[in-house]
Structure 1
Amino acid sequence: MKTVLITGASRGIGRACALAFAREGYAVAACWHKNEAAARSLLDELSALGCDAELYRADVADPASVEAMAAAAEKRFGHIDALVNNAGIAQQKLFTDLTAADWDRMLSVNAGGVFHTCRCVLPGMLRRHSGRIVNISSIWGISGASCEVHYSASKAAVIGFTRALAQEVGPSGVTVNCVAPGVIDTEMNANLSPETLAALCGETPLCRIGSPEEVADAVVFLCGGKARFITGQVLKVDGGFLGG
């Protein structure tokens, strides 16, 4: 049985990914940080699907926390076949109001978390000459977004990281890809006003916002056998928001 490790798995896109992988027959190592109730609820759903699953608490910005989580997951499941780096934070703020602490926290979670988790999980994949890594970025990492300079920068860093690492580990049989969601119906976007959401829908050719499940479908595809010759790519799941 293949095992997937998913960070930020307790809600939103991460939760949808966990359930989607479970339906594909994967064992699931689900990493969470703050919402224990949501994590326990996810575990109940995974168990109801007959999935071999375990919860792990970790702050992806903390190297020691990630090392402990990855070691425990590898000991429990024997190996990690796929890694989904989904954990992230967002904040809307004028650039002139940003503090050094705002900047450091955003980069340490959104970009640093990807680094720490890959650093811990990748050695096992290299030894087995097999593995799939999917990093979750954002369309704002491609186009940039007003009042989200630090968020956009962190997600752009994830894209650069993905493309570079894919070239480095490709000869060892490991693929590294990136999914860049558009406007998705998650708690992260729950603070947007109805007027803002309506405007974003109007800018999207499919005339609606996306669902976490639609992003999860793309992630599962990139971890599957039909994507074995795809690496170093950024797949936009945005309803056509950014066009070509």
Structure 2
Amino acid sequence: MSGMNRSGGASGAPTAVLIGVTGGFGHALARLLANEGFRLVLAARSENDAAALTGRKDGSAIYVRADVSDPASLEKLAAKSFDHLGRIDAVVNLAGISPRKAIDEYTPADIDSLLSVNVKGPIFATQAFLPGMLKQAGGSVIVHLGGAMDGRVGLPMMSAYAATRGALAGYVQASNRELAGTDVSLSFFGPAPANTESESAFFDMWRKAGVSLVEPEQVAREILTTIRTRRPLHVMGGGMLRMMSAVNAVSPTIADAIGLRRLGKLVTQHHPR
């Protein structure tokens, strides 16, 4: 596996920890990695069964309850993961929430939840797993899922949410500069709009914007690519979304002119009320 230690854990198989595995992409990723021979630790707040999530009953995966917003919970998860796997090639943090509301509709509770899950969660998860990963030989990666595009594109009806994704993008970038010269890196993964229940209210909007929805299995395959290549930024969504992300990073005004303004209008028009 390019960019990843081929020796994997004690059994020689590659290893991964998936946090927030019961969300829209978690089942697809758990099954894909299991089929690729990964030994897994699966985690989320709710009770679940590893065999049901992976489709395998060979003991190659275990399930641990954990809350991404609770640092003590994540410390326990990290300890159990290293104990079970021996070494960890990848941690994938799938946890995230994305309420889409007008500026004045975001409540204090909304903002607290966004900060707890989308900002504090990735920081706590990184802090829990990083010390053990730094002690390992060979490369490893911590992948954090952000929103569509690169985390720096702010759209209407997503102001508070966009602030958390921008914070995550900055955290990943700063951490990678700090970790330069080590065998551990972080990745910001921007999934494409996907055919999931949480995105269903916006299917028509993405169609009008000319963005094709992808299946969760495709997102899972690209997360696997990020694990294998340890790519620090992986933006899905086809050429249009990648182009707008890149242009927006240089000039938001130009990005508006070539498509973000129209996308923003579509977001506003399709705001659920």
Structure 1 and Structure 2 fold alike (TM over 0.5): yes
Task: Specify the SS of the correspondent of 1:115.
Answer: helix
- TM-superposed CA distance for 1:4, in Å, is 0.4
- TM-superposed CA distance for 1:50, in Å, is 4.4
- 1:108 is aligned to 2:116: yes
- 1:121 is aligned to 2:129: yes
- 1:32 is aligned to 2:41: no
1:1-244 equivalence runs, <5 A: 1-34=13-46, 36=47, 39-40=48-49, 43-48=51-56, 50=58, 52-129=60-137, 130-139=139-148, 141-190=151-200, 192=201, 196-204=202-210, 207-224=211-228, 227=229, 230=231, 232=232, 234-244=233-243
* Structure 1 residues without counterparts, runs of 5 or longer: none
CA distance in 2, matches of 1:165, 1:201: 36
- TM-superposed CA distance for 1:99, in Å, is 2.2
Amino acid at match of 2:195: D
Amino acid at match of 1:31: A
Contact 1:4 1:83 in 2 (8 A): yes
Task: Specify the SS of the correspondent of 1:12.
Answer: coil
Q: TM-score, normalised on structure 1?
A: 0.86
Identical aligned pairs, as a percentage?
30
Instruction: List structure 1 segments (4+ residues) > 4 angstroms apart after TM superposition.
Output: none
CA offsets, 1:142-164, max 9 Å, x none? 32222221211111111111111
Distance 1:119 1:125, change over 3 A: same
CA offsets, 1:49-93, max 9 Å, x none? 746001111110111111112212222222222011111112122
Amino acid at match of 2:209: E
Task: Specify the SS of the correspondent of 1:177.
Answer: strand
Q: Which has the larger radius of gyration?
A: 2
- TM-superposed CA distance for 1:238, in Å, is 1.3
CA distance in 2, matches of 1:151, 1:43: 34
CA distance in 1, matches of 2:161, 2:170: 15
